[in-house]
Amino acid sequence: MSVQAATLESISSSLKSLSIAATSVVSHAASTSPDSWKEAVSSLATGANFQYTKTLLFKPKTAKTAKAYPVLVVAKNDTETNTTALGKEINQKEMRLAAPELLQDFLGATKDDVSPLSVSKANGPEGSHPLLVVLDAFVASSEEQFAFHAASSEKTIFLTGKEVAKYLESTGAKVETIDFSKLASNPAPMPKANAPSASGVSAPGVTQAPVANNNAARARAADAAKNPDAELIGITVRKDGDFPEWYQQVLKKGDMLDYYDVSGCYILKPWSYNVWQAIQTFFDAEIKKLGVENCYFPMFVSSDVLEREKDHIEGFAPEVAWVTRAGSSDLEKPVAIRPTSETVMYPYYAKWIRSHRDLPLKLNQWNSVVRWEFKHPQPFLRTREFLWQEGHTAHLTLEEADKEVKQILKLYQRVYEDLLAVPVVPGVKSEKEKFAGGFYTTTVEGFVPTTGRGIQGGTSHCLGQNFSKMFNITVDDPKATDETRGTPEGKLFVWQNSWGLSTRTIGVMVMVHGDDKGLVMPPRVSQIQTVIVPCGISAKMTPKEKDTILDACEETARSLREAGIRAKADLRENYSTGFKFNDWELRGVPVRLEIGPKDLEKEQVVAVRRDNGEKASMKTKELVHELPKLLDAIHDSMFKKADDIYRAHRKVVTKWDDFTRTLNTKCHVIIPWCEVEACEDAIKDRSARQGSEGEAQDERAPSMGAKSLCIPFDQAQYPDIAGLECPQCGQKAKRWTMFGRSY
Ligand SMILES: [Zn+2]
């Protein structure tokens, strides 16, 4: 469902039809928060006497089958709108701020321009308007003027409270007027003393302790998830309170991405794309040192070629997207869009590789691939189209191929650890988890502490000779004898590798480092490494005094940029210092430099770290030497913090009884494993079942089964495995293997 967005014209005409003379509409800078709205409007010096408002869309909990019935709260900006108490009052459960999509779907609005005027008859059919509007009683009965967004974050309209109430009544939406001041002062009602207890027995005359019902517990959980600083910074939930919502808000408000009207696809904005480019720059230079060349193959694959390698296509078939039509006519033979390019490229490898002197052939492409998944999409982690690089190489011997598999995996580890400050565990995948159609798969495995789930970071596969046999990629064996030369026995199938790293890297980085204030960017990939904010500017200053500070900021930024540091002076006029601080914190800029009148006198700046909030003074003239050191120190401490947490969450377990229990403490489990595929299936089943019996029911954290993440290369860190048995099946253990719930 989608609705027509309100326009200034549609609003004016609706108001006119209600005989409301809305003559007062002002234009101003776009606002992205309550604070910037106030700044923008107050800079116009309208002289009018009015109060600001807020408009929030909530989505109460509804049964999966029931239609969503969103609640729009319209209140004076400083009215405390306690959603738990409100939910009780209007008999709705677990009211949570609606996702941006819902705001778009129901009102055609964004959080920056939503207002009661976004509600209109056009939002819903006559008599069955889908919205419940809750209007602050303070506003509803007031003759005073209030400010509302008018179809845009750049326009503000002034209406009296009564006029807004009248307008809302005319839209066909159900409107309830609520006195929030009374809600706030009334404690939530306690369960009645004679309510049946859990056991169903209640002794007469005995005052029973209130039985916490499930809804109250949930409401408390939702309350606990709220971010107390939300008004100030815009992230309304805490990271460890409501992680999925936190992730969405951080990406959107941190300016990493925007949503798109094809499900599962997202727009990468410069702030995130720059991270990808930093990864590209590093990795591209490194693979070129290994003799890899870049090229580009078409995104379309014919079905004949795609289906050449059976195991491979079985692994991908359900996700392959097909082009079946051009214009109005159906294609005679539909073509697929590459889910990966093995089968696209290898017919040409067969053509190009004529002799062992053509080996090794090492090609890479930076491209996007499409995997039309139907699981719940998650920005960066699971998207239908994603950016990656895919390397495809052919070698004369297995030894050469083996060597390269490890070299590439090491580079992937360096991308995570040296650029993104994210620790990973390198290892090899089990038979069940290896690349479809390949020989073996190596991987770097990351960890998201908030959920305790693992995430595959990048994979480097040895394909063996499986694909060269399917695509007939052969050379004359240099060791062929006179008898075999020129015969099939004198031919040798090449050994192949393929390896890929995707924009998933960015999602892992955000999940690992972000905090309740927003993104925390690792310095080496941050588009801006330091932002310089002028401070202490007051109305009493002369223009010259003010300019001195602004010039110092600009000059500092210039000299830092000259020294190779990505620096920016934030000289925006209409924003307060506090707003700027919050804004850059939300975007995670590693270091903020503050320059005020006193700092100028002392020839110093104040440097504030984003990762831990530490402040330190630095001499202005030493800045170009000190700042790079500080950025490295930030990188190191971000890595160490994440690494300590990951290590503390990898637990060696040798008895099955401890397996799921350890898993349920958000840990990965390292067991001495038999490496039998049926055993891996059994582990997944048993850990899922045990999880759901032993854990509190929480539908947002389903207790999925554990799968094998990798067999770590570094086996020496664990005890001697000789004589140990697999805790699941009792067979002889082969190698220590990391299991966990994962993305
Ligand atoms: Zn086993």
DSSP symbols for 11-57: HHHHHHHTT-----EEE-S--SSHHHHHHHHHTT------EEEEEEE
Q: Average of pLDDT values for 592-612?
A: 97
Q: Is 90 exceeded by the pLDDT of residue 243?
A: yes
The per-residue pLDDT for 350 is 97
Question: Considering the chain, what percentage of its residues have pLDDT values greater than 90?
Answer: 62
- Cα(542) to ligand 1 centroid in Å equals 77
Q: Is 60 exceeded by the pLDDT of residue 126?
A: no
Which of residues 96 and 360 earns the better pLDDT score? Answer: 360
The per-residue pLDDT for 1 is 44
The per-residue pLDDT for 419 is 98
- Cα(524) to ligand 1 centroid in Å equals 42
- Cα(679) to ligand 1 centroid in Å equals 5
- Cα(314) to ligand 1 centroid in Å equals 26
Cα 91–95–96 angle (5° rounding)? 170
The per-residue pLDDT for 228 is 59
Q: Is 70 exceeded by the pLDDT of residue 64?
A: no
- Cα(732) to ligand 1 centroid in Å equals 8
- Cα(405) to ligand 1 centroid in Å equals 28
Which of residues 255 and 24 earns the better pLDDT score? Answer: 255
Instruction: Give the tokens for residue 635.
Output: 């990188």
Query: How far is residue 458's CA from residue 227's CA, in Å, rounded to a whole number?
Result: 33
Phi first, then psi: give them for residue 442, nearest 5 degrees. -105, 155
- Cα(225) to ligand 1 centroid in Å equals 40
The per-residue pLDDT for 192 is 34
Of 56-70, 88-102, 519-533, the one with minimum mean pLDDT is: 56-70
Residues surrounding ion ligand 1 at CB below 5 Å: 674, 679, 726, 728-729
- Cα(673) to ligand 1 centroid in Å equals 6
- Cα(742) to ligand 1 centroid in Å equals 20
- Cα(452) to ligand 1 centroid in Å equals 23
State the average pLDDT for the chain: 88
- Cα(729) to ligand 1 centroid in Å equals 4
pTM greater than 0.75:
no
Which of residues 91 and 471 earns the better pLDDT score? Answer: 471
246 Cα distance to chain centroid: 9
- Cα(672) to ligand 1 centroid in Å equals 9
The per-residue pLDDT for 220 is 62
- Cα(539) to ligand 1 centroid in Å equals 73
Q: Average of pLDDT values for 293-313?
A: 87
The residue written with tokens 């008004």 in the block is: 231
- Cα(402) to ligand 1 centroid in Å equals 27
Q: Is 80 exceeded by the pLDDT of residue 124?
A: no
The per-residue pLDDT for 15 is 87
Quick: pLDDT tens for 725-740.
999 999 999 999 999 9
- Cα(3) to ligand 1 centroid in Å equals 55
- Cα(735) to ligand 1 centroid in Å equals 11
Of 289-303, 432-446, 449-463, 700-714, the one with minimum mean pLDDT is: 700-714
> Which pLDDT band, with edges at 50, 70 and 90, does 254 fall under?
very high
- Cα(449) to ligand 1 centroid in Å equals 27
Question: Considering the chain, what percentage of its residues have pLDDT values greater than 70?
Answer: 89
Quick: pLDDT tens for 3-52.
778 888 888 888 888 888 766 888 888 888 888 888 888 777 666 688 88
- Cα(726) to ligand 1 centroid in Å equals 5
Strand 300-302 vs strand 322-326: parallel, antiparallel, or unpaired? unpaired
- Cα(719) to ligand 1 centroid in Å equals 18
Whether the Cβ atoms of residue 123 and residue 171 lie closer than 8 Å to each other: yes
Query: How far is residue 585's CA from residue 718's CA, in Å, rounded to a whole number?
Result: 40
Tell me the chain's radius of gyration from C-alpha atoms. Answer: 30
- Cα(734) to ligand 1 centroid in Å equals 9
Strand 668-673 vs strand 257-259: parallel, antiparallel, or unpaired? unpaired
Of 78-87, 158-167, 438-447, 486-495, the one with minimum mean pLDDT is: 78-87
Residue 348 to residues 334, 340, 353, 465, 706, Cα–Cα distance (Å)? 21, 15, 8, 16, 40
> Which pLDDT band, with edges at 50, 70 and 90, does 409 fall under?
very high
- Please, what are the domains in the chain? 8-185 (3.90.960.10), 220-253 (no CATH), 266-300+338-513 (3.30.930.10), 523-634 (3.40.50.800), 650-740 (3.30.110.30)
- Cα(481) to ligand 1 centroid in Å equals 46
The per-residue pLDDT for 230 is 57
The per-residue pLDDT for 66 is 56
- Cα(431) to ligand 1 centroid in Å equals 13
Quick: pLDDT tens for 191-235.
333 333 333 333 333 333 333 445 666 666 666 677 655 555 578
- Cα(675) to ligand 1 centroid in Å equals 6
| Residue 360 preceded by cis peptide, ω within 30 | yes
The per-residue pLDDT for 691 is 57
Q: Average of pLDDT values for 148-160?
A: 89
AA identity, residue 418: D
615-616-620-625 Cα dihedral, nearest 10 degrees: -110
Q: Exposed, middle or buried: residue 201 (CB in 10 Å: 0-12, 13-18, 19+)?
A: exposed
- Cα(699) to ligand 1 centroid in Å equals 30
Q: Is 90 exceeded by the pLDDT of residue 132?
A: no
Closest to 13 measured CA to CA, from 133, 112, 124, 151: 151
